[in-house]
Structure 1
Amino acid sequence: MRIITPSGAESFSIGELSKHSGVNIETIRYYERIKMLPPPPRTASGRRVYGPAEKRTLAFIRRSRELGFPLEEIRALLALGGSERASCADVHKIASAHLASVRSKLSDLIKLEAILAETVAQCTDGATPDCPVLDILDAGRQG
């Protein structure tokens, strides 16, 4: 349910915020518990009320998660973009470390792709009881 506050600012229920941000309601509550989102004001009946700032923060968290940033790095980036207003060098340090991690994972995935491609190419049409894919996954398997 969309709410217009006395000040004229648009506010959202948790369900609306979930729809607008693409973040599950339980995940929104989780982000509140771990203090990624500030505790929202509540109506007289106790319903959470969110505004454009929370919507923007959730979009930032969601996009950061899509890019593989861990929550602690996202927390640091949120702090750097918030009232602290850090220099680009601080953000660069976090992003550079994440880039190194992504490159390492990419290198591992390229190696994995080669191993899997070679193993799948060795697979037969099921005419033999041996399965190279299962063999590579279970080194102790007796063929």
Structure 2
Amino acid sequence: MKHVYRIGEVATRTGCSPESIRHYEKLGLLPPPWRGEQGYRCYDRATLERVCFIRHGRSLGLDLQSIRELLELSDNPDTDCTTADDIASHHLELLEERITALQALTKELRQVVNKCRGGKAADCQIIRALYDHRPQCNKQKCE
């Protein structure tokens, strides 16, 4: 006999909230659950593993569309996995761009913080630096 999991148990085992599980169902990332005698949602081991897959994908920063595509590949194991490589490679590029931008931001913020260590707001180097930093400001958004 297969083990049957209710939504609370799936949530506990996967670290995913019941609301998220229901959301994934609505999006079609999870198959519709069957209902037990009292109308509770019932899930099998494969669905529990699928929730873990989605959760792990989200923890890696993948969007739900990418996860959907990866699940479709997983559901069709004889399919070429070039799409999976493309998704992962594109996501890696985006992460590396974000890391570069965050490193630049860290450097700039460190410089600003080192300039200001107390005093009056009128003389605050942090506030002044934010006003003086026009190159990043898109004039259409700032005006």
The TM tier, using the shorter chain, reads 0.7 to 0.9
In structure 1, the residue matched to 2:96 is: 103
- Is 1:65 equivalent to 2:63 in the alignment? no
In structure 1, the residue matched to 2:35 is: 42
In structure 1, C-alpha distance between the alignment counterparts of 2:44 and 2:106, rounded to whole Å: 45
After TM superposition, the runs of 4+ consecutive aligned structure 1 residues lying more than 6 A away are none
- Count of matched residue positions in the alignment of Structure 1 and Structure 2: 132
The alpha-carbon deviation at position 86 of structure 1 amounts to 2.4
Gaps of 5+ in 1: 1-7
Q: Output the amino acid matched with 2:115.
A: Q
Aligned equivalent of 1:117, options 107, 110, 117: 110
Q: Output the amino acid matched with 1:113.
A: T
In structure 1, C-alpha distance between the alignment counterparts of 2:85 and 2:26, rounded to whole Å: 28
Q: For the aligned residues, what is the CA RMSD? A: 1.8
TM-score by length of structure 1 reads 0.84
Describe the superposition over 1:85-130 as per-residue Cα deviations: whole angstroms up to 9, x where unpaired: 4223221111111111111111111111111111111112x22323
The structure with higher relative contact order (CA 8 Å, sep 6+) is 2
The alpha-carbon deviation at position 37 of structure 1 amounts to 0.9
